[in-house]
Amino acid sequence: MTTVQRKAFGRMPPEEGGGEVEKFVLQSDSVRVEILSFGCIITTLETKDRHGQFSDVVLGFDTLEGYTRKHPFFGAVVGRVANRIANGRFTLDGKEYQLFLNNGPNSLHGGAKGFDKVLWSAQVLPNGVRFFRLSPDGEEGYPGDLKVWVTYTLSGRELAINYQAQTSKTTPISLTNHAYFNLAGQGSRDVYDHEISIEADSFLPVDDTQIPTGEVAAVQGTGFDLRQPVELGKHLQKFHLDGFDHNFCLHQGQDRRLVARVFHPPTGRTMEVHTTQPGIQFYTGNNLDGSLKGKGAATYPKHSAFCLETQSWPDAINKPHFPNVLLHPGEEYNHTTWLVFNTA
């Protein structure tokens, strides 16, 4: 049984329209998750360790103010296009589109005011919540009126996130959730003792601005071979890596498949990621620097969390040989990601 509660969480600043932000609490016997109508943000995700003790395993803030100020997309749904678009530029049907540059020379996670920074309308479901918004034609430079639905449902140990969209004009789209996890509990110093595996035979090498070079490289014999579980800290040392911020190329197909697994031996917590998406961005919080005050006055230093963002491949709009990211009128964008929490 999942219970769903709806609560007030705060009001947007007057300059942002002053709308009311609600919090939705989804609870089963093994997982409790809190989600905001602002940015569809997961603010809390509590799951049991092997002794049955609950801990909150996602980074975030105690108040709305934390989320309305600048932060690294904690827990949010990002779009229209997750990840990076080179030079914030693409051409579609002979017309060039220029997006806002918010990540060096590139556009990241939807631009200046992406889906993470807006209020969504909400509808309570028997075991979850569905958010909706209309992204108007030209918003952040993207073409077409885009209707978007993001649905969170909780059943037992499994949190499902479904993304659906329809457009009035052809547009690129790639939606994901940008939760930062630490299975030891948020506020823990690092994720070096986590064991991770990713079911991917290839990954995308990037240039010095984190844009894929276009090569689809085999993981075999490299530090990117995570097909067998590795202990993160030792693995980064062994391969002299500063951390991960790369797209791993998943086996293509529309069916649900297991794509990543994380195990935290001290607590016994495990997290599996299943998805229908073609890629997953593995990010180890390389840009966290301890400057943000998080929940319970925790600070979040470098490598104190990991993200596993299921997505289309970065800059695919400019790389014709990457899986297609275009949504056409009359079609439906429909992807689901499942997070399964357990103990071992």
User: Which residues make beta-bridge pairs with 172?
Assistant: 326
Q: What is the mean pLDDT of residues 80-104?
A: 96
Q: Cα torsion at 86, 116, 297, 245 (round to 10°)?
A: -30
Q: pLDDT tens for residues 115-144?
A: 999 999 999 999 999 999 999 999 999 999
Strand runs labelled E in 89-194? 89-92, 95-98, 107-108, 121-125, 128-135, 146-155, 158-167, 171-172, 176-177
Query: Residue positions in the annotated binding site for beta-D-galactose?
Result: 83-84, 178-180, 245
Alpha-carbon distance of 53 to 25, in angstroms, equals 19
Catalytic choice (109, 178, 274, 303): 178
Q: pLDDT tens for residues 170-189?
A: 999 999 999 999 999 999 99
* Cα separations in angstroms, 259 against 102, 191, 217, 226: 29, 19, 18, 11
Task: Please tell me the pTM assigned to this model.
Answer: 0.97
Mean pLDDT of the chain: 97
Is the peptide bond prior to 80 cis by the omega test (within 30 degrees of 0)? yes
Q: pLDDT tens for residues 38-90?
A: 999 999 999 999 999 999 999 999 999 999 999 999 999 999 999 999 999 99
Q: Is 309 a catalytic residue?
A: yes
Domain ranges, ordered by start, for the chain = 3-343
pLDDT > 90: what percent of the chain? Answer: 97
Q: Is 178 a catalytic residue?
A: yes
Q: Does domain 3-343 have CATH number 2.70.98.10?
A: yes
Alpha-carbon distance of 42 to 218, in angstroms, equals 33
Alpha-carbon distance of 317 to 204, in angstroms, equals 15
**Rounded (5°) CA angle 170-253-110:** 40
Catalytic choice (34, 46, 195, 309): 309
The reported pLDDT for the residue numbered 15 is: 87
Q: Where does residue 282 rank: exposed (0-12), middle (13-18), buried (19+ CB within 10 A)?
A: buried
